[in-house]
Amino acid sequence: MATWGELKKAGITWSESSKMTWGKLKEFCTINPKAKQIPDDMEVSFVPMQRVSDTGDVQTDEIRKAADVKKGFTFFEEGDVLFAKITPCMENGKGGIAWGLKNGVGFGSTEFHVLHPDPEKVSSEWLYYLTSWDEFRKQCARNMTGSAGQKRVPKSYLEQYKVYIPSLEEQRRIAALLDKVSDLIAKRRAQLDKLDLLVKARFVELFGDPFINSMAWKKIKIIDAVTVEPQNGMYKPQSDYVTDGSGTPILRIDGFYDGVVTDFSSLKRLRCNDKEKQKYLLKENDIVINRVNSIEYLGKCAHITGLIEETVYESNMMRMHFDTARFNPVYITHLLCSRFVYDQVVNHAKKAVNQASINQKDVLDFDIYQPSIDLQNVFADFVNQVEQSKLKLRQSLDKLETLKKALMQQYFG
């Protein structure tokens, strides 16, 4: 199917094809429809923001009496599209179709825009995919209003958004194809999640629950386990960052997840001198830990392995190095990523508005366990085997996500 941009270049206007319609979004759906009159004792679905994912999942199984939610919440009906309008939920992609509503009616967060499709013009599925398209979200972000931290996409912007709507038959074909790709993406993610659970189960099998310490492992402070104590990373102004491939790569907080650096080759780069590099250079088997962030991400850590060139790390994290004669870095990373250590992070944290922090002294005071190094190595070997399986799944997932983005660009670009 030709894109709107290609059709324009070919000199084709929308009026030349009865299967194509070009207009404002409000011509195809009602945005934030008025609530219908329903009995107070009628059961309805209740959907707060946390029940909507960034992958289109809308959980509708929480039931309330209509009288309890009629006032102060947003009304929607079966098949309506929910679109998170507030930052950062909007940028994070929160939204989905409200299916399976109790008695066909739902109420939810006031931070949703509701798009009620005209069934003779547009399908719920096509409308959802439009609103989940990265470029649509980027354009919405550029048109937000309000103060920092409370910015929202105005209803008027959605109403005036110009869009190409194909025939309903074509919409169904597009949605069916995107559904297939989305289902495959969801399966790959589920497979990765299962492997993560397998690793956690193996950890408990070998070392026990750290909250209980039923195997009576020796408990020590981190200060007694490291050969290099925690050190804050490098701060550089944005003007020192480069995009021409020169400079030195820098590990930032968005560069690692669940104990693993996502991709060293994709790190941002910046200018730094030899003295700075010497001070902030990452070394193989270092551990980095996030020292300032929102409370849920505070203490996020990663094992540094597989460095491909000299790499430094930024100021909102600390770097440390454990005694490898006593601690396998794979074991220690999984322990640091556990709830056992996270609870210590929270207890030590200095909390401020929208963020919290820990310092070197806090980290050195954390309790950890010292199982036998042989047992730690058994666990590390198991993790490495699982990582090989995860690598193949991630490669498949990357290809599927690239395919989906290409299809979205073709259909909506």
* CATH number of the domain where residue 161 is located: 3.90.220.20
CA distances to 28, 76, 225, 251, 390 from 52, rounded to whole Å, are 24, 14, 42, 31, 27
Note whether residue 306 is domain-resident.
yes
Please indicate, yes or no, whether residues 156 and 231 belong to a single structural domain of this protein.
Answer: no
Q: How many CA atoms lie within 13 A of 367 on its CB side?
A: 11
For residue 6, count other CB atoms closer than 10 A to its CB: 12
Q: Examine the domain organization and report whether 137 and 249 are in the same domain.
A: no
| Shared-domain flag, residues 256 and 148 | no
Same domain? For 157 and 273 the reply is no
Q: Are residues 156 and 20 in the same domain?
A: yes
121 and 250 belong to one structural domain: no
Residue 9 lies in a domain: no
Overall domain count for the chain: 2
Give CA–CA dist 30/36, Å, rounded. Answer: 14
Closest CA relative to residue 230, chosen from 365, 366, 364: 364
Look at the block and give the residue holding tokens 């690239």: 402
Asked if residue 20 and residue 160 are part of one domain, the reply reads: yes
Are 225 and 354 in the same domain?
A: yes
* One domain for residues 141 and 23: yes
Domain assignment present for residue 83? The answer is yes
- 227 and 320 belong to one structural domain: yes
**d(C-alpha 367, C-alpha 165), whole Å:** 59
What predicted TM-score, i.e. pTM, was given to this entire model? 0.80
Q: Where are the beta strands (DSSP E) in 269-378?
A: 269-270, 287-290, 292-293, 301-303, 312-313, 317-322, 350-352, 355-357, 367-370
Is residue 190, in this structure, part of any structural domain at all? no
Same domain, 239 and 301: yes
In a domain, 317, yes or no: yes
303, part of any domain: yes
Q: From first to last of its 413 residues, what are the pLDDT tens digits of the chain?
A: 344 454 445 444 433 344 678 899 999 999 999 999 999 999 999 999 999 999 999 999 999 999 999 999 999 999 999 999 999 999 999 999 999 999 999 999 999 999 999 999 999 999 999 999 999 999 999 999 998 778 999 999 999 999 989 999 999 999 999 999 999 999 999 999 999 999 999 999 999 999 999 999 999 999 999 999 999 999 999 999 999 999 999 999 999 988 999 889 999 999 999 999 999 999 999 999 999 999 999 999 999 999 999 999 999 999 999 999 999 999 999 999 999 999 999 999 999 888 999 999 999 999 999 999 999 999 999 999 999 999 999 999 999 999 999 999 999 98
Same domain, 238 and 314: yes
Q: In whole angstroms, what is the distance from residue 74 CA to residue 71 CA?
A: 8
Compute the distance between CA of residue 152 and CA of residue 144 in angstroms, rounded to an integer.
5
Going by C-beta distance under 8 Å and a sequence separation of 6 or more, which residues neighbour residue 176?
A: none
In a domain, residue 340? The reply is yes
Give the residue numbers spanning the domain of 315.
218-370
In a domain, 289, yes or no: yes
